[in-house]
Chain A
Amino acid sequence: MAAIDVQDLRKQFTVKHKAAGLGGSLRALWRPRLGVVEAVRGLSFRMEEGELLGFIGPNGAGKSTTIKMLTGILHPTSGEARVLGHVPWKERRQLAYHIGTVFGQRSQLWMHLPAVDTFQLFGRIYELDPAETRRRIAMLAEAFEIEHLLETPVRKLSLGQRMRCEVAASLLHRPKLILLDEPSIGLDPVAKQRIREMIKRMNAEEGVGVLLTSHDAGDIEALCKRVIIINHGQIVYEDRLSALKRRYLTEKDVSVRFVEPVTVDVAIPGTELVKAGGGGYGLKLKVDTARTNIAEVLERIGHLGEVEDITISDPALEEIIRTIYEQAALSGDGGSANPEASDAPAT
């Protein structure tokens, strides 16, 4: 059974438009101008149980609206969705027993109390046996390395510590699926890494499916095997992360440091000179591997002078995603940049 099955899901919001200034406000009072914003436009996708699926897109792309419809917080304008066999907006409470949610910009913990008090309250909310709640708190405290934080009022925790407690709280009732909306927002790189490791561990140990939304490509790269990219409420790309990289990694970044200063006076075919600096010691190139062989480029670089150090790297996922957004924008309809996307989920 699919953990999530979404068909042509749409959500429109009515918004009031108003001209600037007092005159505009008075006119809006008398005759309001209403418009419709389409936050989600015909979204269809599927996620298998236990899968790690990344849902990525810029601010305002429709990620959070989609998550809110999948948890039953919002009613869609049209379309269908089943999450663990439930229609979220019709069977919200039944579904809530089987899913966990973390909204990075909103806390589920009681700020003035130690996290352990919220954990115990959650035990009652999910109707867990008190002994089972205690066992589960101990297990999650160990897994998320929060034993020493449990008795500190949440308001006194750092953002990273609080977020570990938030994710642990969302797993208290052994959900089959957790929906994480921007869980790493505002975290420093170390805290981000810890959260990612812990989510990965819970996926491996408990088989919990993870739908992760983020506008940080690093989250997706570290956690997910399959990725859906949305923009303007539509899917612009859907496939395995490895396929995404293969398809879009036709460029390599090459950084060279020479023993002696060199002069780059002849362009190397199939490459773009990004930077020649460092007093002639440094050189940065972008190589289009579809047009030129990387070995040839390296040979040409060798002719320029004696190489002290060389680094060949893939472009960051952010760059790939930016390319996909640009392609989608050029195509004008925001439609899929990958019509042949494989249906097979990552395992």
Chain B
Amino acid sequence: MTTLRRIRVELSFLAALWKTNLLAALEYRASFISQVLGMLLNNAAFLAFWLLFFQRFPKVNGWGMRDMLGLYGMTATGFGLGVVLFGNALSLADIISQNGLDPYLSLPRPVLLHVLASGSRISGWGDILTGLLCMALLGPPDAAAWLRYGAAALVSMIVFISFLVLVASLTFWIGSASALSGSAINAILAFATYPMSIFDGSAKLILLTVIPAGFIGALPADFVRHYTGRGLAQLAAAALVFLALALIAFHRGLRHYESGGLATGMGG
């Protein structure tokens, strides 16, 4: 099978999985609407706090409300896309430790792609909407800026999901990385919603490598504001490197997978 046909087949499979996820989410309409609205409100409360803050201190180290809208909007979009399209990334450590990979391993599709896309967090739609609203508030509408926003959000999502896969893959060696995964998610989201300018050299290095929060919020948001070839290259390289590391870690770990007798199922 040619590479092009293989990509087409996998994309078609992904589209079918996402459609199935959406069907499952829409089975519970009231829950769907309440979760999306709840997340919108949650994000609005967070932004309202910053609005009050910047009304009192309009510029902090060169940063104002517009910068915060751009940063928070980007983080929300990247996170939202990640948990809507690859929702099982949040529970991958549990899935591995509870033998949940078995059904995916008995089907002819790439295991990691299949398991990640078999779950979707409805609240992520609220995050995506938050991101779009933030971008709209930053207006006026500019096609190039929206295009940059789309590309940057894609990088933000890829780095976020790859980071979660890397941490969850530790389960293959240490038996359970659920608590570690939870801490990692909290840490990366917390750091992603602060501007990089408040961190010094070594902290910055950590936020671009060990906990790559910089590639989820600040750098993609900068790229949306001002296009530079260097910014584009940095984002593309980050997405490729973290994706490659995640794929290597997961597939190396898969050789150590020890499926026991617990009862588990598919879907998210």
Contacts and interface: CB of A to CB of B under 8 A. Distances in A.
Interface stretch (B71-79, B98-106, B156-164, B222-230): B98-106
A150 B24 CA distance: 15
B108 A93 contact: yes
A2 interface: no
A295 interface: no
A110 B259 contact: no
Contacts of A111: 265, 267
A93 B102 CA distance: 13
Interface stretch (B11-19, B126-134, B198-206): B11-19
Contacts of B29: none
A105 interface: yes
A125 B28 CA distance: 25
Interface centre among A97, A112, A120 (most CB of B within 10 A): A112
B110 to A, nearest CB: 8
A74 interface: yes
A121 B108 contact: no
B263 A112 contact: no
Contacts, number: 76
B261 A72 contact: no
Contact of A113 (B9, B23, B101): B23
A117 B102 contact: no
Nearest to B100: A106
Nearest to A73: B105
B261 A112 contact: no
Nearest to B111: A92
Interface in A38-78: 64, 68, 71-75
B125 to A, nearest CB: 17
Interface in A101-156: 101, 103, 105-113, 117-118, 120-121, 124-127, 153
Interface residues of A, number: 34
Given A93-B109, A96-B106, A112 B27 contact: yes
Contacts of B16: 120-121, 124-125
A73 B106 contact: yes
Contacts of B259: 68, 73-74
Contacts of B17: 121
Contacts of B102: 68, 73, 103, 106
Contacts of B109: 93, 125
Given A106-B264, A110-B20, A113-B27, A125 B13 contact: yes
A159 B183 CA distance: 38
Contacts of A72: 105-106
A325 B95 CA distance: 36
Given A74-B258, A121-B20, A153-B27, A97 B13 contact: no
Interface centre among A68, A75, A92, A111 (most CB of B within 10 A): A68
Interface string B66-101: 000000000000000000000000000000000001
B263 A106 contact: yes
Interface of A: 13, 64, 68, 71-75, 92-94, 96-97, 99, 101, 103, 105-113, 117-118, 120-121, 124-127, 153
The 8 residue pairs across chains A and B that have the minimum distance between CB atoms: A96-B108, A124-B16, A105-B263, A107-B265, A110-B267, A73-B105, A101-B106, A93-B108
Interface of B: 9, 12-13, 16-17, 20, 23-24, 27-28, 101-103, 105-109, 255, 257-259, 261, 263-267
Given A103-B102, A110-B24, A112-B27, 6 more contacts: A72-B105, A74-B257, A97-B108, A106-B264, A106-B265, A110-B20
